[in-house]
Chains A and B, each alone.
Chain A
Amino acid sequence: MAGLAKSFGSGAMTNSIAEIDDLDVIFVTGSNPIENHPVIGSRMKKAVKNGAKLILADPRKIELAEEADVFIQQRPGSDIALINGMMNVILEEGLQDDKFIKKRTENYEAVEDVVSQYPPERAEEITGVPAEDIRRAARIFAKAENGAIYYAMGVTQHTSGTANVTSLTSLALLTGNVGKEASGVNPLRGQSNVQGACDLGGLPNVFPGYQKVIDPEIRDKFAKAWNVDGFPDEPGLTVVEIFKAAEKGDIRALYIMGENPVISDPDQNHIIEALEKTEFTVVQDIFFNDTAEYADVVLPAACFAEKEGTFTNTERRVQKIEKAVEPPGDSWPDWKIIAEISKRVGYDMDYDNVEEIMAEIAELTPIYGGIYYDRLGDLGLQWPCPDRDHPGTKFLHEGEFARGKGKFYPVHYTPPVEEMDDDYQFIMMTGRMLYHYHSGTMTRNSAAIDEFESDAYIEISNEDAEKLGVENGDRVKVSSRRGVVETYARVGDRVAPGYLFMPFHYAESPANRLTHDALDPEAKIPEYKVTAVSLEKV
């Protein structure tokens, strides 16, 4: 998000899902839509059937590789070198969109300078991808009439995550594949309302609508609207920083709603130490999750099927959720619990229903300015939607970027924090899989799904498995500098020799006991995709 916002002025998906139908080139990297956004994955397959070309760059040979015109299996963490290599080819062969560059971008000179240092042969050395494949991918993408890039956590969960994204935005700017219908750069958001949680100020540096907390005028606006004297003038801490501060005793109270950091956050042992150290922790959830164990108070919340409200999807579409059943026992919708707590800390919140909350959001949040419940109807509304008469926005940056001109941020390749060595001979990536979701609170408690995919596993290449005498289904022990977990081996050709992949959904084999919490300096995202580990048969 940080990288996208720097380049274009907005951190959201530039295009709508439906525009996939109109693409002639789809470039997917660091995203496994068939498993993680299945409906989008199918739509991409359909587009390919109808003639679109597909470039897939992923360290794993995921299912989409079968559909790809060019499949690039780069080393984890080498994305910048790959994209720079592609841009090198484009400039060498004069395939850039000069008219677009001149009219709609700035800082182009910097690209020439950086990219000239990455001829495909050098990119091959860093990425392990044959130079010829880099050339083919570059040509296909550059020649697209309607080309769009789709990425996800495979791009962002690196210490170079923000730089990875600005490489991709540079590629889009260089080829003029952004700022029009069915062309753009699209981060696929992994969770039902991750877009909305970001949009509405669930971030330490911004009020709702990405209005910066460091801006005194913005602080004044919210102070007046919310009837308080003022706010701190510096951003707060991000999730990983929160737990580091808690471990030091700087955070005394933690209020955790609908999250399970013991499973989902990096370096589990440190998270647990931090929670144990925290003086007062409130966990609000639908289940007594793994984090609740460390709470002082646990509050029962209603789930999405038991309350009213809105979610904002990956294409910026605000849609209603409706109450289908009553919440169990004495559990309440989250907003009602928060309002009651607020009252008790001397700050009254009076809302009769969610509609009133959305009306307040619309008043204070320009991108949601025209979003009211009575307008959401059958299709919802896509932000930016500045006023009541605005129909919503299908794709972004038409005519002009949100920040004015699109800015090139070319970057040099930097290696990941951890690399293979004598003690840790493998690089492990973590991620999601089709059947389960995040920390598993929902899917592990859904009988049919958990019956079908009931245990954790680690993907290992045929070659490595043979070397270690590991067969499909064997128990293996995986160790990193931070911990050890046991799980089952899934032997095959999805990962290349030297690399492993493990889903993080399973409390009994928590992949995040192994991961480390080195962060991207700007986006503060942990490097989940590159952890040095060793593996042995149990």
Chain B
Amino acid sequence: MALIKINGKEHEVESDLSILEAVRGEGYEIPTLCYHPDLSISGGCRLCIVEDVDSGQLITSCSTGVTEGLEIKTASERVERARRSVVDLLLSDHPLDCMICEADGNCTLQDLAYRYGLNESTLGSKIDPRFEIEHDNPFIVHDPDKCILCGRCIRVDNEIQCSDAIDFINRGFTTRIAAALEKDLGDDDSTCVFCGQCVEMCPTGALTYKPSIGEGREYNLEHTETTCGYCGVGCKLDLKTRGNKVVEVGSIYREGTPNPVGEACVKGRFGYEFIDHPDRLKTPLIKDKETGEFNEASWDEALDYIGDKFNQIKEESGGDAFGALCSARCSNEDNYLMQKLMRAGLGSHTIDHCARL
């Protein structure tokens, strides 16, 4: 443990923490853009600076460890003035189109501008875009003009997803994030697999989900935490809904889950549109034996018909005449009842599913 002083008040904190972690752990607020607890430290955005009372220097709290006797100020006038100029600089190269931006209400830069009362940069505003929007693939839209170069997308791609699909290119004013050979993320040369973790990490509207455009913004959406319906990993996912429609799939970050740092794959992230597909079955159907056509039926009609046929076959041929397939995509409770129906209701052990396929 280490004894440190934050804003004049003493605190005992774990000695292996960074100043940022220690200070936030004690309930103080420090704004960040490039920091994320699951990623390596970059120290590039300079928003997490605090004032070291001893040396009088402004230091980045994310990349500096606590030391015994450390005394810092987290929101002194100097600190706040420096942070304000960082935001001012970022805004000078950022489009002011919050009213039509997908990230409105879910943008750290917007929150910081609000905090520092900047409705535009004091250095002049960005009138014309400097880059093209990249949107050739059906999953992710990249607008480099909205990118603040925090690099969180690159780090999650490199450190968690391990796809190494994107990196910084160029220098100075033309720096941007790009996939291989500056082609689209979906290009044959790209190693992107559309897990969407870069979008989840983006603190602005530079990376957004294409199928979610126009479907609502953060404050319009409701959240339901659930388990993914695809492979056997069992990732926890956040189904974001608006009205009765799933419009986006977000990450859940929780130690101890199968995907503790919000991992997902393209199926879990983008394979939700089937839920609201117009071709979903909506009513029972009974086949007309004469014409071979399927006609809509009520539940009572369909269930009674099944009951009568099952009873007749059971009477005539016994349980051996029944076979059932339950499903690796249905719930435990669904499967339990299916085998109970077969065994206890119809007298047959002939039940199986696609575990072998």
Contact = CB atoms under 8 A, between A and B. Distances in A.
A333 B231 contact: no
Given A39-B263, A252-B321, A378-B254, A344 B341 contact: no
A20 B340 CA distance: 37
A194 B328 contact: yes
B224 to A, nearest CB: 4
Interface string B140-179: 0000000000000000000111110000000000000000
Interface string B346-357: 111111111111
A193 B319 contact: no
B4 interface: no
Given A310-B333, A347-B345, A300 B280 contact: yes
B311 interface: yes
B350 A251 contact: yes
Interface residues of A, number: 151
A471 to B, nearest CB: 15
B273 interface: yes
A205 B349 contact: yes
A328 interface: yes
A309 to B, nearest CB: 3
Contact of B354 (A40, A264, A303): A264
A39 to B, nearest CB: 4
Contacts of B224: 305, 322-324
A325 interface: yes
Contacts of A354: 331, 333
B98 interface: no
SS class of chain B's interface: helix, strand, loop or mixed? mixed
B329 A344 contact: no
B279 A253 contact: no
B336 A39 contact: no
B107 interface: no
Contacts of A328: 276, 280-282
Contact of A237 (B226, B286, B352): B352
B286 A202 contact: no
B11 interface: no
Interface stretch (A80-88, A122-130, A168-176, A283-291): A283-291
A237 B281 CA distance: 29
Interface residues of B, number: 116
Contacts of B227: 192, 304, 311, 313, 319-321
A42 B268 CA distance: 15
B322 A197 contact: no
Interface stretch (A139-147, A481-489, A522-530): A522-530
Contacts of B283: 300, 329-331
B228 A192 contact: yes
Contacts of A40: 233
Given A203-B351, A251-B323, A264-B354, A448 B270 contact: yes
A452 B137 contact: yes
Contact of A446 (B231, B272, B328): B272
Contacts of B226: 304-305, 320-322, 324
Given A251-B321, A304-B229, A437-B230, A333 B344 contact: no
A341 B336 contact: no
Q: Which of A37, A303, A317, A338 has the most CB of B within 10 A?
A: A338
Interface stretch (B16-24, B25-33, B41-49, B237-245): B237-245
Q: Which of A38, A301, A358, A441 has the most CB of B within 10 A?
A: A38
Interface in B74-100: none
A514 interface: no
Q: Which of B226, B246, B276 has the most CB of A within 10 A?
A: B226
A17 B333 contact: no
A338 B343 contact: no
A220 B151 CA distance: 63
Contacts of A201: 335-336, 339-340, 343, 351
B232 A287 contact: no
Q: Which of A196, A205, A256, A448 has the most CB of B within 10 A?
A: A448
B102 to A, nearest CB: 16
A326 B343 CA distance: 31
Contact of A346 (B160, B311, B350, B354): B311
Contacts of A266: 357
A43 B264 CA distance: 11
Interface stretch (B60-68, B117-125, B126-134, B301-309): B301-309
Given A379-B256, A442-B271, A447 B349 contact: no
A349 interface: yes
A328 B138 CA distance: 26
Contacts of A213: 349
A236 B281 contact: no
Interface stretch (A89-97, A110-118, A242-250): A242-250
Nearest to B324: A255
A240 B259 CA distance: 35
Nearest to B297: A297
Interface string A330-352: 11111101111111111101010
A286 B280 CA distance: 6
Contact of A242 (B235, B281, B323, B334): B323
A448 B230 contact: no
B97 to A, nearest CB: 24
| 6 smallest beta-carbon distances between A and B, as pairs | A329-B282, A344-B307, A313-B234, A309-B331, A258-B327, A236-B350
7 contacts: A191-B329, A204-B352, A252-B317, A279-B313, A338-B341, A341-B307, A379-B256
Given A253-B310, A300-B282, 7 more contacts: A189-B231, A202-B327, A208-B336, A231-B349, A266-B357, A300-B284, A448-B210
